[in-house]
């Protein structure tokens, strides 16, 4: 039986992860760390497993006790439009995940699973990809004993709480051009948020394995399909 801590549970992937964890017999307790209160899905409430902690992320280190768990999941992420500046974007997509990783390592957490992005590369000329790449690089450098896995999804499909016009248009276009994402382009095909969450949970619990700390977008879809086939009731 395992205890987990989720950062970013109010987001698209985080909400799906929270729901899946509440269904899992392997999970006994779930702690969510948020800036403000969120409305839980009904089945999460009914499960009785989840506890929400409203924390000041500027003083994250004072919440060290939260990391007395088996697995930590980081689903934090924003956009430049929402963040308002590169500095604010880096605080969410770089600084917080790195600080979370340090605390996870200090508390000997069994596994840390982080949502990154397709194209993450610290040497990229694209600011978004460069930030994600620096985050991956610096987390891996923290403690070689900490098991870390990064998922690099492509465009995310799912019921977002906030409206993102660009992503909505891309999602609609994919419905009519999905046939084009074959061969070398397969890795660019969108991922469903449910699939990303399912792979995150199963990786942490050791139900699926990966020889690399990086799970690319196309592999996320392949692994999720395997989970669905072996347990269709969870789909």
User: In this predicted model, what pLDDT tens digit does every residue of 81-103 receive, in sequence order?
Assistant: 899 999 999 999 999 999 999 99
What's the DSSP call for residue 40?
P
SS3 179: helix
Q: How far is CA 157 from CA 65, 76, 128, 218, in A?
A: 34, 16, 19, 14
The residues, ordered by sequence, that sit 6+ positions from 15 with a Cβ below 8 Å of its Cβ are: 9, 41, 193
- The domain 2-163+191-234 is placed in CATH, from the list 3.40.50.720, 1.20.1740.10, 3.30.980.10, 2.40.37.10, at 3.40.50.720
The whole-number pLDDT of residue 162 equals 56
Do the Cβ atoms of 189 and 218 come closer than 8 Å?
Answer: yes
Residue 52 contacts by C-beta under 8 Å, 6 or more apart in sequence?
A: 31, 32, 34, 37, 38, 40
Give the per-residue pLDDT at 41.
87
Spatial separation of the C-alpha atoms in residues 167 and 193, rounded to whole Å: 13
145-166: burial string, b at 16+ Cβ within 10 Å, e else: ebbbbbbbbbbbbbeeeeeeee
Query: How does pLDDT run across 6-20, given as a tens digit for each residue?
Result: 999 999 999 999 999
Take residue 98 and report the two structure tokens written for it. 């790195």
Distance CA 66, CA 161 (A): 26
Residues 6+ away with beta carbon under 8 Å from 213:
140, 148, 149, 150
Q: pLDDT-derived band of residue 176, with 50, 70 and 90 as boundaries?
A: very low
Mean pLDDT of 170-199: 68
């Amino acid at each position: 039986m395992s205890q987990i801590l989720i950062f970013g549970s109010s987001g698209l992937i985080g909400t799906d992860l929270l729901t899946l964890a509440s269904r899992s017999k392997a999970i006994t307790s779930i702690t969510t760390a948020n800036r403000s209160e969120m409305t839980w899905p009904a089945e999460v409430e009914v499960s009785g497993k989840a506890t929400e902690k409203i924390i000041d992320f500027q003083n994250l280190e004072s919440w060290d006790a939260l990391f007395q768990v088996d697995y930590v999941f980081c689903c934090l992420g924003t956009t430049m439009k929402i963040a308002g500046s590169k500095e604010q974007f880096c605080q969410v997509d770089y600084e917080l995940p790195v600080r979370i990783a340090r605390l996870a390592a200090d508390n000997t957490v069994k596994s840390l699973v982080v949502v990154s992005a397709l194209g993450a590369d610290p040497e990229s000329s694209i600011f978004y990809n460069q930030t994600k790449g620096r985050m991956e690089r610096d987390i891996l450098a923290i403690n070689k004993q900490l098991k870390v896995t990064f998922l690099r999804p492509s465009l995310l499909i799912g019921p977002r709480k906030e409206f993102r016009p660009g992503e909505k248009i891309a999602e609609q276009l994919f419905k009519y051009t999905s046939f084009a994402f074959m061969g070398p382009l397969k890795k660019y095909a969108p991922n469903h948020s449910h699939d990303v969450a399912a792979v995150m949970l199963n990786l942490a619990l050791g139900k699926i394995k990966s020889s690399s700390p990086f799970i690319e977008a196309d592999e996320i879809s392949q692994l999720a399909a395997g989970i669905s086939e072996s347990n269709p009731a969870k789909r």
